A and B are shown apart, each in its own frame.
Chain A
Amino acid sequence: MTQNFNLEQKIALRVGHRIQWEEAQQAHVLLFPEGMIKLNESAAEILKRCDGSKTGAQIIEELSADYPDVDLTQDVLLFLADAQEKSWIDVVRAT
């Protein structure tokens, strides 16, 4: 799927999806109809930025600024492609 992921499009969490911090689990979770996924730290950092205002490329840029010691590009790209495949995120259509 990676080859299909377009980093130039703005992305948002899919309709009905929400991220929040869960005290009981000491983790961020992604909530959606009748289900949830416990997120690791990096997944949460990426998904929190999928707010409809940024493109994949901008998210990578932001994360690289926050974590300057590692090259995140490939990992983030793979994660976003996977998240799209799982329907956690959607491309924002221009209105």
Chain B
Amino acid sequence: MSSEPPKLLWLLAELTYSCPLQCPYCSNPLDYSQYPAELSTDEWIRVLREARALGATQLGFSGGEPLVRRDLEELVAESRALGYYSNLITSAYGLTKERLKGLKELGLDHVQVSFQASTRTLNDELAAATVFEHKKQVATWIKELGFPMVLCFVLHRRNLHQIADMLQMAVALQADYVELATTQYYGWAFQNRAQLLPSRRQLQQAEAAVTKFREEYSGPMKVYYVVPDYYESRPKACMGGWAKLSLNVTPDGVALPCHAARQLPDLSFPKVTDHSIKEIWNQSEAFNRYRGFDWMQSPCVDCPEREKDFGGCRCQAYLMTGDAQQADPVCEKSPHHEQVLKIIEQTEPMDLQEIPLTFRNSQQSKGFCKESKQSGR
């Protein structure tokens, strides 16, 4: 790629892989327990400064559960001083009103709280933790303290029927935005895909519920809803293009163009402890690998839509075809699209619900580490 590197706008700081919840669709890698090391406060501050100097403006504190880090306050204060717009992406587990108030005073701009479902039973079953009532309590504090609030419901086969209730709950909690976030099938969600991917009929019902809500609701809350890309005929413009807008730093300091890229083979992602953010963003082989169009093969290479979707998602191409340079198989033009259709077909029989979910926790993760060692990956 000969042209200028794109402008970095977004930094996602995954502060820790620790999390008190065990959501079976977690986007962290299956083998996260292999990477227990975490960057120090000073290292994070250097990352924040260097990314800001490159132009990053939006900053997400994520994880795992970012509240687990005791230096979150220090990092929030630093990000305000640097001029970031800071977003705390949290399960709200264990968050007290005092801590939230302190974060507000230090300049945290926005809080996003995730919900697993609109009922306590299902929410706490999916999180494998008792969290539902506390989340609702935290949501009221967020509004009381004057934060803008995003509520994020992660949607899948097990909770899609609650979509109308989720919207009502978001209205009742005075959310400014509600994200009906379709599960993306990477990491733990890929592992649990058969149990999580909704059927076409479920999706039609969900879409009808969202449409009805939009017709009837006239308040200020904004609703974002996207159908799972498996049901589309063209791929999503994943991350707005590979290493085009966004940089992700893992708890142990690996720089990635997206949170799922760590699993891609034959790419060596640079560590922020070895290189500056500027070197990583502008020069590293990994960040340049899928920039632009030179890497593309058929059918992407001469597709008139390549500038719109950039060939879709590299991780999805790898997960389904074993080759990250393929077109995203979600695309009808992909020679592997059959696979997606087959997966969708398999969502129809409802007895799939009998298969147990694999919950995201260290014990399971250690099992995956062992498996990947045995298979030589």
Query: A-side interface residues toward B, CB under 8 Å?
Result: 14-18, 20, 22-25, 29, 31-36, 87, 90
Question: Are A20 and B9 in contact, with the CB atoms below 8 A?
Answer: no
Instruction: Give Cα A34–Cα B88 distance, bound, in whole angstroms.
Output: 10
Q: Is the CB of A15 within 8 A of B58?
A: no
B327 at interface by CB-CB < 8 Å: no
Interface centre among B54, B112, B148, B220 (most CB of A within 10 A): B148
Question: Quick one: given A15-B146, A16-B147, A24-B7, are A34 and B176 in contact (CB under 8 Å)?
Answer: no
> How many residues of B are in contact with the other chain, CB < 8 A?
21
Which residue of chain B lies nearest to A32 when distances are taken between CB atoms in the complex? B148
CB atoms of B220 and A33 under 8 A apart: no
B148 touches A22 (CB 8 A): no
**Residue contact A15 to B57, C-beta cutoff 8 Å:** no
Given A36-B9, A87-B222, 17 extra CB contacts under 8 A: A14-B148, A14-B176, A16-B110, A17-B148, A18-B85, A22-B57, A24-B54, A31-B109, A33-B87, A33-B110, A34-B87, A34-B110, A34-B112, A34-B150, A36-B57, A36-B85, A87-B220
> What B residues does A32 contact at CB under 8 A?
85, 110, 148
A31-B57 in contact given A16-B147, A16-B148, A25-B7 (Cβ < 8 Å) = yes
Q: How far is the CB of A78 from chain B (nearest CB, A)?
A: 21
- Expressed in whole angstroms, the Cα–Cα distance for A24 and B83 within the complex equals 12
Contact with A along B247-267 (1 / 0, CB 8 A): 000000000000000000000
Q: Please give me the residue from chain B that is nearest to A16 by CB atom.
A: B148
A18: chain B residues within 8 A (beta carbon): 85, 109
State the Cβ distance, A58 to closest chain B Cβ, in Å: 24
In this assembly, does B55 line the interface, its C-beta being within 8 Å of a C-beta of chain A? yes
Please indicate the chain A residues that have their CB under 8 angstroms from the CB of B87 in the complex. Answer: 33-34
How far is A15 from B55 in the complex, measured between Cα atoms in Å? 24
Indicate if the CB atoms of B55 and A24 lie closer than 8 Å. Answer: yes
**Do B112 and A33 touch across chains, with their CB atoms under 8 A apart?**
yes
User: Residue B60 at the A interface, CB < 8 A?
Assistant: yes
Q: Given A16-B109, A16-B148, A24-B7, verify A31-B55 contact (CB < 8 Å).
A: no
Contacting residues, chain A, for B220 (C-beta < 8 A): 87, 90
Q: Is B177 positioned at the interface, with any CB of A under 8 Å from its CB?
A: yes
A20 and B83 form a contact (CB under 8 A): yes
A18 to B58, CA, bound (A): 12
Of A23, A24, A25, A31, the residue contacting B85 (CB under 8 A) is A31
Interface residues of B in 22-67 (CB under 8 A from A): 54-55, 57-58, 60
Give the residue name and chain of the B residue nearest to A15 (CB). B148
B58 to A35, Cβ gap below 8 A? yes
Complex CA distance for A90 and B85, rounded to whole angstroms: 20
User: How far apart are A47's CB and chain B's nearest CB, in angstroms?
Assistant: 15
Contact (Cβ within 8 A) A33 B55: no
Question: In the complex, which residues of chain B have a beta carbon less than 8 angstroms from the beta carbon of A33?
Answer: 87, 109-110, 112, 148, 150, 176-177
A89 to chain B, nearest CB (A): 11
> Which listed residue, A17, A29, A90, touches B57 by the CB 8 Å rule?
A29
> In the complex, which residues of chain B have a beta carbon less than 8 angstroms from the beta carbon of A90?
220
Residues of B within 8 A of A31 (CB): 57-58, 85, 109
4 nearest CB pairs, A to B: A16-B148, A24-B55, A31-B85, A33-B110
Question: For residue B147, which residues in chain A have a CB less than 8 angstroms away from its CB?
Answer: 15-16
Q: How far apart are the CA atoms of A75 and B225 in the complex, in Å?
A: 32
Residue in B54, B58, B83 whose beta carbon sits within 8 Å of that of A34 in the complex: B58
Tell me the nearest residue of chain A to B9, going by C-beta.
Answer: A36
- The proximity string for B residues 97-114 relative to A, scoring 1 for CB distances below 8 Å and 0 otherwise, is 000000000000110100
Bound together, the chains give a CA A38 to CA B148 distance in angstroms of: 20
Complex CA gap A14/B112 in Å reads: 17
Best-surrounded residue of A18, A23, A32, A34 (most CB of chain B within 10 A): A34
Please indicate the chain A residues that have their CB under 8 angstroms from the CB of B58 in the complex. 31, 34-36
B143-159 CB mask vs A (1 if < 8 Å, else 0) is: 00011101000000000
A-B contact pairs, 30 of them (CB 8 A): A14-B148, A14-B176, A15-B146, A15-B147, A16-B147, A16-B148, A18-B109, A20-B83, A22-B55, A22-B57, A24-B7, A24-B55, A25-B7, A25-B55, A29-B57, A31-B57, A31-B109, A32-B110, A32-B148, A33-B87, A33-B110, A33-B150, A33-B176, A34-B87, A35-B58, A36-B9, A36-B57, A36-B58, A87-B222, A90-B220
A25 vs B245: C-alpha distance when bound (angstroms): 13
